[in-house]
Amino acid sequence: MNIIQPARLTFWRFIFVATAALLFLSVNQLLGKANAVGVDLSASTSWRGLLAGLSALGLLSLLLFAFVGSRYGERVLALAEFPERAPAQLRWLGAVLIGVALVGFTFVFTIPFLRSFFAGVTWIRALGFWSFSLVGMWGIKFLRKETPWFSALVAIILCQATFHLLLLYWPRVTDYPFAMGWSETSRYYYPSLYLSEKVYGQPYPWPILHPTLHLLLVPPYLFDASLWVHRFWRIALGYLLVAAVVPVLLRRLSIPGRAARWLTGLWMFLYLYMGPIYFHLTIPVILVLWGFSTRSDRRTWIVLLLASVWSGWSRVNWYPMPGLIAAVLYLMEVPYKGKNVLTYLLKPALWFIVGTLVAFLSQRVYIALSGIPDSSVFYSSFTSDLLWYRLWPNSSFYFGIVPGVIWVSLPMWLAVYVALRSSKGDWHPLRLALIFAAVLVILLGGVIVSLKIGGGANLHNLDAYFILLLICVAYLVLAGYRSETGAIARPVSLHWLLVLALMYSPVSTYLQFGIGFKTYDSVRTQKVLAGLQAQVDAVNARDGEILFITQRHLVAMHMLNGVTLLPEYEREDLMEMAMANDVQSLTRFREDMENQRFALIVVDPLNYNLLARRRSFSEENNVWVTRVVKPILCNYREEAVFPADEIALYVPQEGARQCP
């Protein structure tokens, strides 16, 4: 890919107007925040000073924008372009500026005061990122004067965003003993079921949800690792597997120059996290991209079958993905050249059909091995409701699925259009039609999955679509396909504005999140653990049963002693039952609550609170409340609560039972 560089005046006008826009948008948002928190601007010199300073810088940027086109323009440009004329002795300054730019944004927003003060002020974060990008751009020009200004800006933006993303999740590696977030305890409990005899001393059924994800998280259980090791393993594995998609895709493309390949790779890495794609789903992608070969059918079939088995163990909507990826690679790399249609399409058709069938059969094998007698629980999503209103902006997803998909993927489709327009004669219509059909099928499947209750809060259920679209754009723009003559395609030149558009969503997605380190009072948490242990011991003395709906990792990692695991009714399983309205399972759960089967229930604090549709995740909340929370609260009472750790203990009600 070549970048059509902006003209000198155009570039600097863009820099000045973009800076001014970010400054004034920040001022406007800060005024709104001041009003929201009740700041009296007439009495607050610090707020007035901040707003005045930002406004003055905005006016200066507009003034420079005006000067660039005037008789003073050359003086302004000479000042802005000083690094091009700087003596060689100042090259060290370039390294300093690049270092500051790479870490500056991330470091500034790790400071607790700034992170809390500017919470919700997204334009300030954007302004900070942009400012450090300009610093880094000048640093690159100090070191490599021949680098075009726009290319230097692109390079530092991608490097800065990647650095921020790579540091973003590490603060979650902590020995804090309780779960952080809705699903964290499930992520560390479910892997233990694969080694249940080792961990619990008896066999238990395997996980129902995301089997391959939890299979990848098993290794820390092999050596009885602490909770912080499990957290470290999960985060490191996520980075490594998502990053591993990049080199196997790049090796199939023709990108001249090491710097161009690195920057393209950074953009791909950011793009893959944008969706985001769950890291266990990268494995079939990696296998097919690495092993697919137009010269060796045997190699292609081996990786296709392996990838299909993994997809079958992963999730239903990924059944066809290995076959579709192989088919798209075939259509990209093998010209039609007037072949018989049936002959030409036989291989990709077989890959798609056989791959999907193998994925289905592999899941049936998993179900047979899992020890779960009722296979219908693996297909609960088929009976859950479709929430059509989430196609459009709503309280659970402010973009909405349709506008969100268009916003994120429109630049990719514009790049496809530019590539096809510049490659007239390279394509037979049959090849293009089938490629677009594959992408459309995957897009529709992802939209349907996103509409299911429990989905639609972001675009992660469209991960297969984004993967396939990335492969198509990479081949078309970065010279990976073969034309009808059999020749490798020529690189495509993209306008600099389109390059910015392609970068926007991948770069901006994670900049809204600051890096905050979780601290906790170890003495207090040890007292909570001791209190939980005392409750467990008291129930054991009465030969009662204990149900951990949440915090099951405490049992799996032996942070509590004397707990006999009851595998049913884990929180994510209960939520799936509620969303799918699994009458049989919910009836059994309700009967267990009414019979007060459990002497103690450990769960997060429960409230009977129904939400209107205008509230975020109202449907999910309401089925949880009516089908899970109500049966508990009608038969159990809160014995103790630890709000700082989101843990509550419930014991059977005595006498006449009270319902909320």
> Could you report the per-residue pLDDT of 251-278, keeping only the tens digit for each?
999 888 899 999 999 999 999 999 779 9
- Tell which of 473, 508, 543 closes a domain: 508
Q: How many domains does the chain have?
A: 3
527 and 504, same structural domain? no
Q: pLDDT grade, residue 488 (50/70/90)?
A: confident
Beta bridge partners of 257: none
- Residue 180 lies inside a defined structural domain of this protein: no
CA 230 from chain centre, in angstroms, equals: 19
Q: pLDDT grade, residue 210 (50/70/90)?
A: very high
CA 244 from chain centre, in angstroms, equals: 16
Q: Are 464 and 276 in contact (CB under 8 A)?
A: no
Q: pLDDT grade, residue 118 (50/70/90)?
A: confident
Q: Which of 403, 418, 406 minimizes the C-alpha distance to 499? A: 418
Q: Are 195 and 221 in contact (CB under 8 A)?
A: yes
526 and 492, same structural domain? no
Instruction: Tell me what percent of the residues of the chain surpass a pLDDT of 90.
Output: 85
547 and 445, same structural domain? no
Sheet with 647-652: list strands edge to edge.
546-548, 600-603, 647-652, 636-642
Please tell me what DSSP assigns to residue 495. Answer: E
Q: How many CA atoms lie within 13 A of 336 on its CB side?
A: 15
- Residue 576 lies inside a defined structural domain of this protein: yes
541 and 432, same structural domain? no
Average pLDDT over residues 157-161: 98
Q: Which of 140, 160, 143, 161 minimizes the C-alpha distance to 152? A: 140
Q: Are 118 and 125 in contact (CB under 8 A)?
A: yes
How many other CB atoms sit within 10 Å of the CB of residue 291?
18
Q: Is the pLDDT of residue 496 over 70?
A: yes
**CA torsion sign, 454 to 459 to 461 to 462?**
positive
**What is the pairing mode between strands 636-642 and 647-652?**
antiparallel
542 and 496, same structural domain? no
396-410 pLDDT per residue, tens: 998 999 999 999 999
- Residue 441 lies inside a defined structural domain of this protein: yes
Q: Is the pLDDT of residue 14 over 70?
A: yes
- Residue 195 lies inside a defined structural domain of this protein: no
- Tell which of 467, 486, 508 closes a domain: 508
The predicted structure's pLDDT at residue 604 = 96
- DSSP letters along 553-621, please? HHHHTTSSSSPPP--S--HHHHHHHHHHT-HHHHHHHHHHHHTT--SEEEES--------TTSTTHHHH
- Residue 178 lies inside a defined structural domain of this protein: no
Q: Is the pLDDT of residue 1 over 70?
A: no
244 and 104, same structural domain? no
**What is the pairing mode between strands 546-548 and 493-495?**
unpaired
Beta bridge partners of 649: 602, 640
How many other CB atoms sit within 10 Å of the CB of residue 528?
17
Tell me the pLDDT of the chain averaged across its residues. 94
What pTM did the predictor assign?
Answer: 0.95
Q: Is the pLDDT of residue 120 over 80?
A: no
- Residue 504 lies inside a defined structural domain of this protein: yes
- φ and ψ at residue 649, rounded to 5 degrees: -115, 130
The residue type of 418 is V
Q: pLDDT grade, residue 286 (50/70/90)?
A: very high
Q: Are 216 and 279 in contact (CB under 8 A)?
A: yes
538 and 502, same structural domain? no
d(CA 91, CA 5): 24
Q: Which of 660, 403, 650, 619 minimizes the C-alpha distance to 550? A: 650
548 and 623, same structural domain? yes
Structure tokens at 292: 């697919």
The predicted structure's pLDDT at residue 114 = 84
Q: Which of 107, 492, 502 minimizes the C-alpha distance to 267? A: 502
- DSSP letters along 79-113, please? HHTHHHH--GGGHHHHHHHHHHHHHHHHHHTTSHH
Q: pLDDT grade, residue 339 (50/70/90)?
A: confident
Please tell me what DSSP assigns to residue 615. Answer: S
643 and 532, same structural domain? yes
How many other CB atoms sit within 10 Å of the CB of residue 8?
13
Beta bridge partners of 637: 651
Torsion of CA 84, 89, 94, 96, to 10 degrees: -160
d(CA 288, CA 244): 12
- Tell which of 456, 473, 508 closes a domain: 508
- Residue 433 lies inside a defined structural domain of this protein: yes
Q: pLDDT grade, residue 529 (50/70/90)?
A: very high
d(CA 463, CA 465): 5
34-69 pLDDT per residue, tens: 888 888 888 889 999 999 999 999 999 999 999 998
The residue type of 454 is G
Q: What angle is formed at CA 139 by the lines to CA 68 and CA 162, rounded to 5 degrees? A: 110
- The Cα-based distances of 385 to 139, 452, 587, 630 in angstroms read 54, 6, 19, 21
Quick one: which H or E segment has residue 303? helix 297-314
Average pLDDT over residues 444-466: 93
Q: pLDDT grade, residue 490 (50/70/90)?
A: confident
113 and 31, same structural domain? yes
- φ and ψ at residue 231, rounded to 5 degrees: -65, -40
236 and 143, same structural domain? no
Q: Is the pLDDT of residue 220 over 90?
A: yes
Q: How far apart are the first and last CA of the chain?
A: 63
d(CA 646, CA 183): 13
531 and 427, same structural domain? no
| Domain coverage including residue 500 | 222-373+384-508
Q: At what angle do helices 429-451 and 341-370 cross, to 10 degrees?
A: 30
The predicted structure's pLDDT at residue 516 = 80
- φ and ψ at residue 310, rounded to 5 degrees: -65, -40
- Residue 212 lies inside a defined structural domain of this protein: no
